[in-house]
Amino acid sequence: MIDRIFNRTIFLWASAIAITLFTVNPGMALLQRVNNMNEAYINCLKNENCADTKAINEARVYYMILSQLYPDYGRGAEMEGVCFLLLKQDRLAIKEFQEAIKHNPNLFWVSFELGKAFYREGHYAQALKCFQAILSQDDRTLFRKATLSTLRRLPEKTREALMLGLVDFIAKIKLGSYQMAIGCLIHQGNLIQAKSIIDLGLGNPQFRQNGFFILANRSWWEDDSRKAMLVRIDSTAYNKPVLHPWSYFIQPLKEVLYQ
C-alpha cells in the first residue's frame, strides 16, 4: 500500500515537472507554435500595403522568440527588425539589424536595411558605411554569402528557382546601395564624391543602361536635378524592406533545427 502511494506520488510529481517544463520551455512552446502557426501574418509581411499592426506584432513576437533561442542564426533578429521597420520604429529596427549582422555577417541585405534606417534617422555617415560595404563586394561574393545564409536542404527544383531569384535579388540590393550612397553624400554636401559614385554605377556593366544613372550623369550639376534626385532617393529610403527570397517563409526555425 505504501509502495503504491509512493509510486503514485512519484508519478504525479514527475508528470507535474514534465508539464511545467513543456509549458515554460520556450523551445518546446515555439516548436508547438510553428506546427500550429497561422501563416496570415507571414503573408502580411509580404503585402506591399500591409497596415495590419496586430499581425505585424504577432510576427515580431515569433521572431523575437526565435532570436532568443538561436541568436547565432541571425534570421530571427533580421525579421524582428523588418517588423519594427513596418511599424515605423527605426531605432528599434537598427538595434535588431545590428544584432543580426553581429551573429551572421552573411546577411548583407540586412546591412542595406540598416543603412536605410540610419538614413531616415539622419545619420548619413553611418548609413554610407553600410552601403559602401555592399558596393565593395563583387556579385560572386554576395551570391556566395546569400547561398550560405539560405536554406541548404531544399529539393533540387526549389534550389534552382532560389538561385535564379538570388541573382535578381543581389542586383536590386546593389542598385539600391548605389542610389542610397549618392543620397548620403548629397545630404553631406559632398558632391564630388557623389559624382564618383554615379560614375562607378555607369562603369558597372550591370547598370550602364540604368535610367537613374544616365539621368543623374546628364544633369548632375543642375541644382533642380539634384533636388529631384534626392526626392527619388528619399522615397526609396521609405520603401518596404527588400526581403530575402526566403525570409518571410515559416521555415527559419526548421532550417536551424534540421541543417
Q: Count, in order, helices (H) and strands (E) of the chain.
A: 14, 0
- The three three-digit cell numbers of residue 153, written as one number: 536542404
Q: Which residue has the cell 538614413?
A: 119
How far is the C-alpha of 256 from the C-alpha of 165, rounded, in Å?
A: 22
Residue 206's pLDDT is what? 87
Check residues 150 and 218 and name the one with the higher pLDDT. 218
Tell me which range, 5-9, 18-22, 179-183, 240-244, is most confidently predicted by mean pLDDT.
Answer: 179-183
In angstroms, the CA 77 to CA 71 distance is: 8
In this prediction, residue 19 carries a pLDDT of 42
User: Do 181 and 112 contact (CB within 8 A), yes or no?
Assistant: no
Give the residue carrying C-alpha cell 509512493. Answer: 6
Sequence-distant (≥ 6) Cβ neighbours of residue 101 within 8 angstroms = 74, 107, 110, 111, 114
Q: What pLDDT shows up at residue 208? A: 83
Contact 173, 111 (CB under 8 A): no
Per-residue confidence (pLDDT) for residue 165, from 0 to 100? 81
- What was the pLDDT predicted at 257? 47
This prediction has a pTM of 0.79
Q: Is 128 helix (H, G, I), strand (E, B) or coil?
A: helix
- Mean per-residue pLDDT, 135-159: 78
134, 211, 194: which is closest to 170 by C-alpha? 134
Mean pLDDT of the chain: 78
Asked whether residue 17 carries a pLDDT value surpassing 60, the answer given is: no
User: How far is 211 from 134, CA to CA, in rounded Å?
Assistant: 21
